[in-house]
Amino acid sequence: MNVIGTIDRPLTHDPKKQAPMPTPTSEPSGSATPDVTTIGAHAARQNRTREMQLIPEALARAHMRDRMREADAERRAVRLVAARRMQRRAERVSMRARRALAMAVMN
Please report the DSSP string for 10-33 in residue order.
PPPS-GGG----PPPTTSPTTSSP
Per-residue pLDDT tens over the stretch 63-102: 999 999 999 999 999 999 999 999 999 999 999 999 999 9
pLDDT of residue 7: 59
The residue among 30, 7, 5, 2 whose CA lies nearest residue 17 is 5
Report pLDDT digits (tens) over 16-74.
Answer: 666 666 555 665 555 555 555 555 555 555 566 777 888 999 999 999 999 999 999 99
